[in-house]
Structure 1
């Protein structure tokens, strides 16, 4: 009798092959796990052990990020020539943006979970990692588009929302910078972080909105993407939700950061900024939230329409988690900023949905990682068929 039960890692040649085939899209797992920890912390209705649950997810996320970082760096050390083609691949290169976005969730957790337990040492670690994250976000936001302009082969018909991935890390870092303002005690440093976050918002959000225009044009002219890419229709929620989240974080902590600062003319300017930023943030975040609702409905329709066919699982399924997660986090922050129940109820519902989705996607990820199916780098070309796919009993 033959059962389709794969042996462990039966679809890869060995542990070295896992390293050689390791791709940056694995960091999407840390993005989704990290944002789930954040939104559990922000759940608008208190429940027992809420902080403990969020802490557990964040701690698990730190472990995942550490393992993935070791595997990714090992690929560059031991298989340098096989890692270079990643930059020239029109899809895999986009997922380089997942690395700084995954790191940003570590920074957020240090602020939300680490500082209450470890005090100032966690704050210092968060600040250091945030500046590293800013550097990676800027590098990714410039380097990958340069490759798109010079070496990649792209066409409107084959475009997907993964074009957003190298651009969005800037605004993700901006949102983390806004959250950092809650714990940074040095006012001058806090102001520098605030201004850098504003610059990163401008570095990322306008370009992301431009890409969304092109993506909508692609949908109108060439209809929905193929089933293996249909999950990417949810990716637009990423830049929209993060743009709103960065605005709300800056709005929540602007007064503390800018009031009683400077001398003479600069003092008046900072005081004006402290009083005006919350109102500006509320307007910008609310407008983006409305835009996000539109894209959410479109994405649900697109995925539901495609469910008539089988949706093949791949790491792109994590595109369900992080974009919905940052949109949910911005919804929870809007409730904090406005005390408006229009945001409180949707935030609670979305967090519950996100929790269920995370378990579904993680289950499929673990099962396929166990067989080795997910350890495959498209930039290296087709993988040879395995000879031991089945377990005979």
Structure 2
């Protein structure tokens, strides 16, 4: 992300709009120049890179754009290191120890470096010049650009736009997302990221019309810090993988911006899935496990009016949320949820069944592998009654369909599946 001093935005009537860079020939050329500067400095010191970047921005009115692009490349595409086989701290310790034996002089400096080189030689001989270079090689401006993975100029411009949008959330204390029906759904990944970044979440709505996800927390817990806003900013790239959504964030105004005129009580930042931002987070896999992908593949071969949907329902649970693996929908409006439990870790099993019980939902089919040692995990699934399906190896779709018909009040399908 970008530091606060490199954020560019305007505020009108309390609505914040971040700076965006269009993919124009001029902007592509600028991004290409910055990328080329990094490529030319591979193997050189960071101080040399910084000097070249300063020369590139000299006299430019858009120097903050250039600095923002360089910041993203420095922190996202570059690997800096001290180089050499000997840690700089060990070099300093040896040189300073030798320097204690007499008064300093230019001639004696050379002798000390040569003595240190002889003492520190390991896999390859060291020269006095090597020791001099390694002496402070771990300081930030002396580290060398060891590797650089250049993005395309267009990708760098898109990354800049997203970083500016993320920066708008630094001062956020509430984030409301309306996640409309998604195909394919990405709800599970969104929930994983909310937990990963420590965001507190409440959920309202249903799979047919969409969900409202509210992420907020008592600002008194965070005082004047932007810690919670930073977590929301890190979450934003995950949201971009969902296909249809709207976002509204409530922000604490920047009091240091006197040019904004009358001080507002809060600012608002609004974003939608139609705004064209691109995520740099890895796109989630369609299925979490071979069990789920195998079940979906076998279901596709079954002649049935039921439609299998992937992770389109969020089930609120006190203190948490669960996302069933599948939703079965019949053309007449009936629907049931399907949860496949095939993971064996005891703590996972205990948590999974505990959340299923807390949900209070009676329309969830729970499919459990007979390979699981539930007794060892201290789990008793018997209270799920007829909603429970045991399976060996693979989960037969017709067994699930038969139970779906019974739970939803329809007739049982003819025939039986065979693994």
Structure possessing the higher radius of gyration over alpha carbons: 2
TM-score normalised by L of structure 2: 0.22
TM-score normalised by L of structure 1: 0.23
Higher strand proportion? 2
